[in-house]
């Protein structure tokens, strides 16, 4: 009888110790996000062209992207290795954090004439899934407006070469853009996105 009671009390103490240490070991979303800041900037707004800004992207897009990197399903230079270091739960927590941050745009060089054409092309070929001139996150398709020029160009190259899978309907639009306007069309679009302040 006494033994049983000791055992129970022991379990309770051990249980609360384990619970306590599990709580202490679980880093907060902003702590997790700090480890991304070296490349993606404070709170996800990148200060330089080497890494994209990830602030303000939707939770679903963030989670799908990280899981795709983890599984090696989305082409990357570095993110596949980084994503493998995080559990599903941690990715969800970071998704909540980054989706709530403001996408802070940096001024970028662009050609105003090309940007003007790009704006028209965007309406025709891209706006349907990249709403508000590519600044909305609600399509779960990333944010294009104000994104770094280099990242946009690499992304489009990965898509058109087939290294990164493109949604069927986007593929159709990108192909008709190419057919109607050649390489100048995509170039104009990128000038449009980088012109947005
Ligand atoms: C060493 C630099 C570096 C670090 C650290 C880093 N990233 Fe990245 N991230 C990149 C680069 C570069 C890309 C573009 C894909 C590639 O080439 O790997 C990218 C792409 C991404 C994308 C895709 C963005 C989009 O618009 O599709 C997400 C999401 C992302 N990173 C999240 C994170 C998170 C979360 C962390 C921290 C846990 C992190 N990254 C840490 C460099 C980094
Ligand atoms: C039918 C919907 C649809 C259309 C139309 C569309 N896209 Fe997309 N786009 C998507 C989706 C969905 C994603 C996210 C794909 C993924 O990462 O798996 C995406 C991703 C992207 C990305 C990568 C974003 C990032 O942060 O990694 C770029 C760049 C892009 N689209 C450019 C364009 C351009 C330019 C056009 C017009 C020529 C266009 N898209 C038309 C649905 C669309």
pLDDT of 94 strictly over 90? yes
Protein residue with least CA distance to atom 11, ligand 2: 141
pLDDT of 144 strictly over 50? yes
Protein residue with least CA distance to atom 24, ligand 2: 142
Q: Is the CB–ligand 2 distance for residue 166 below 6 Å?
A: no
Q: Is the CB–ligand 1 distance for residue 185 below 6 Å?
A: no
Q: Is the CB–ligand 2 distance for residue 167 below 6 Å?
A: yes
Which candidate, 42, 90, 81, 41, places its Cα nearest to that of 62? 90
Which candidate, 108, 98, 93, places its Cα nearest to that of 45? 98
How confident is residue 44, by pLDDT bands cut at 50, 70 and 90? very high
Protein residue with least CA distance to atom 36, ligand 1: 36
* pLDDT score for 26: 80
- Closest ligand to Cα 79: 1
Question: Are 145 and 119 a contacting pair, CB within 8 Å?
Answer: no
* pLDDT score for 16: 47
Which candidate, 79, 76, 52, places its Cα nearest to that of 149? 52
Question: Are 46 and 52 a contacting pair, CB within 8 Å?
Answer: yes
Q: Relative to the CA of 86, which ligand 1 atom is closest?
A: 38
How confident is residue 92, by pLDDT bands cut at 50, 70 and 90? very high
Instruction: Write the CB contacts of 119 (distance below 8 Å, at least 6 apart in sequence).
Output: 133, 192
Question: Are 54 and 41 a contacting pair, CB within 8 Å?
Answer: no
* pLDDT score for 56: 98
* pLDDT score for 166: 96
Round the average pLDDT of the chain to a whole number and report it.
91
pLDDT of 2 strictly over 70? no
Q: What is the pLDDT of residues 10-28, one digit of tens each?
A: 445 544 444 444 455 688 9
- Closest ligand to Cα 66: 1
Which candidate, 184, 190, 154, 160, places its Cα nearest to that of 172? 160
Q: Is the CB–ligand 2 distance for residue 152 below 6 Å?
A: yes
CA of 92 to the centre of ligand 1 (A): 15
Q: How many CB atoms lie within 10 A of CB 69?
A: 21
Q: Relative to the CA of 155, which ligand 2 atom is closest?
A: 29
């Amino acid at each position: 009888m006494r033994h049983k009671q000791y055992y129970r009390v022991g379990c309770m103490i051990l249980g609360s110790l384990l619970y306590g240490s599990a709580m202490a070991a679980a880093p907060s979303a902003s702590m997790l996000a700090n480890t991304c800041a070296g490349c993606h900037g404070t709170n996800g707004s990148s200060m330089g062209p080497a890494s994209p800004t990830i602030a303000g992207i939707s939770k679903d897009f963030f989670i799908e992207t990280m899981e795709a990197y983890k599984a090696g399903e989305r082409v990357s230079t570095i993110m596949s290795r980084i994503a493998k270091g995080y559990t599903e739960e941690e990715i969800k927590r970071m998704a909540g954090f980054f989706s709530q941050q403001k996408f802070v745009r940096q001024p970028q060089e662009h050609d105003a004439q090309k940007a003007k054409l790009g704006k028209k092309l965007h309406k025709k070929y891209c706006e349907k899934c990249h709403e508000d001139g590519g600044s909305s996150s609600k399509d779960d398709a990333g944010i294009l407006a104000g994104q770094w020029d280099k990242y946009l160009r690499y992304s489009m190259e990965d898509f058109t070469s087939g290294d990164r899978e493109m949604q069927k309907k986007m593929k159709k639009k990108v192909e008709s853009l190419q057919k109607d306007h050649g390489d100048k069309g995509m170039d104009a679009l990128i000038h449009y996105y980088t012109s947005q302040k």
